């Protein structure tokens, strides 16, 4: 659902204010370090209850302040009749985070996922193409969770069981490990099955978008290599876990399971990311976000909010134009730009344009 206004209080370096964002596109222009990304972070907090930077809530409090508060309102003319939320509040004070939808406390951030998801395009996304396997797993888990709260539950359960199993291995409690193995196998196979479906659903869109923007001429696809055989049953996995028991007890950690799955990008049968240029790696991360937004709309039937943080700067003029033409349909899109660079790309239709300077957001 598109936002109509955002009220800021002691958030990062941003001045306390209520900002009108009732247009389909909102453009924020300013030099680096002025607060543009902080404003997108505030929107992300109102969408998911956390930061896309991975930072602690305490880090979002303005220096010298004890707490922050964010209030978001939605455009009444486009409210989803099945999801009637009109306001969202996120605040943090004295180590406690409070989230409310229409004044009612939210106990689980899953409630936000199904109401107003945002897809953020940011510099940190580069890790999805060039970073550690854990970062790629995070992206694909996030994508699966956007369309299935059941996936979020399965992933949470798996991680909880894995933590308990690792603790038991460190304490050499084989009796507890035995009890946990069946639970780990059941939840793990559930994740692998869901990830396999996600790969099939996402790979075609990814390949199509990447080629449309890059014009590379060779199809780039997503690869998924589960750590456990996808056609295995629970008994097969229990045997696999038992075969590694001696080694796991020696080092005190679990050596197999979906937490060791691998995602990658292929040209033919070769690893594309291993030979890709910096620009191509950056385009992979942008394409992943576009495919994520398309996938969400295809499965859920609703449009997300897009947050694009200076991402066009790293594309040449031709790729920038092709990227914008391929930008997924959205309930609303927010862009940040440096002064004099690319403003015309985001300022279309009835866009609202703000200048951001020293934390102040003004027309």
- Alpha-carbon distance of 98 to 77, in angstroms, equals 28
236-246 residue pLDDT tens? 999 999 999 99
Structural domain contains residue 336? yes
* Residues of the chain with confidence (pLDDT) below 50: 81
Same domain as 96, residue 10:
yes
On whether the CB atoms of residues 260 and 227 are closer than 8 A, the answer is yes
On whether the CB atoms of residues 249 and 169 are closer than 8 A, the answer is yes
- Which CATH number is 6's domain given? 3.40.50.300
Strand 270-271 and strand 305-309: the pairing is unpaired
Phi, psi of 112 (to 5 degrees): -75, -35
On whether the CB atoms of residues 68 and 91 are closer than 8 A, the answer is yes
- Which CATH number is 173's domain given? 1.20.1050.90
Same domain as 296, residue 178:
yes
Res 268: pLDDT: 85
Structural domain contains residue 284? yes
Domain count of the chain?
A: 2
**Neighbouring C-alpha atoms within 13 Å toward the C-beta of 309:** 24
On whether the CB atoms of residues 151 and 145 are closer than 8 A, the answer is yes
Q: Long-range contacts: 179-186, Cβ < 8 Å, 24+? A: 181/238, 181/241, 181/242, 182/234, 182/238, 183/157, 184/158, 184/241, 184/254, 184/257, 185/234, 185/237, 185/238, 185/241, 186/234
133-168 residue pLDDT tens? 999 999 999 999 999 999 999 999 999 999 999 999
Structural domain contains residue 122? no
For 190, the token pair is 């559930």
């Amino acid at each position: 659902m598109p936002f109509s206004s955002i009220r800021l209080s002691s958030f990062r370096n941003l001045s306390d204010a209520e900002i009108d964002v009732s247009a389909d596109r909102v453009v924020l222009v300013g030099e680096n370090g002025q607060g543009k990304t902080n404003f997108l972070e505030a929107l992300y907090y109102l969408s998911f209850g956390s930061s896309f930077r991975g930072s602690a809530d305490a880090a979002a409090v303005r220096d010298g302040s004890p707490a922050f508060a964010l209030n978001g309102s939605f455009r009444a003319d486009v409210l989803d009749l099945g999801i009637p939320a009109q306001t969202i509040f996120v605040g943090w004070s004295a180590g406690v985070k409070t989230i409310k939808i229409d004044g009612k406390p939210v106990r689980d951030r899953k409630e936000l996922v199904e109401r107003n998801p945002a897809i953020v395009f940011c510099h940190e996304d580069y890790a999805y193409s060039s970073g550690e396997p854990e970062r790629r797993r995070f992206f694909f888990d996030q994508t699966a969770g956007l369309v299935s709260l059941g996936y979020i539950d399965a992933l949470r359960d798996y991680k909880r069981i894995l933590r308990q199993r690792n603790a038991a291995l460190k304490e050499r409690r084989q009796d507890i490990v035995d009890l946990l193995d069946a639970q780990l196998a059941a939840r793990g196979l559930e994740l692998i099955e869901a990830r396999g479906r996600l790969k099939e659903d996402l790979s075609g869109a990814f390949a199509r978008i990447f080629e449309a923007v890059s014009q590379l001429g060779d199809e780039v696809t997503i690869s998924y290599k589960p750590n456990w055989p996808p056609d295995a049953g629970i008994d097969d996995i229990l045997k696999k876990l038992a075969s590694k028991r001696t080694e796991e007890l020696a080092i005190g950690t679990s050596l197999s399971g979906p937490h060791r799955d691998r995602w990658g990008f292929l040209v033919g049968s070769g690893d594309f990311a291993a030979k890709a240029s910096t620009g191509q790696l950056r385009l992979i991360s942008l394409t992943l976000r576009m495919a994520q937004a398309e996938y969400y709309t295809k499965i859920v039937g609703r449009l997300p909010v897009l947050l694009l943080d200076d991402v066009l700067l790293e594309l040449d003029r031709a790729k920038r134009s092709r990227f914008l033409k391929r930008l997924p349909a959205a309930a609303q899109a927010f862009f940040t730009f440096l002064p004099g660079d690319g403003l015309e790309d985001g300022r279309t239709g009835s866009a609202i344009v703000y200048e951001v300077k020293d934390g102040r957001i003004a027309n």
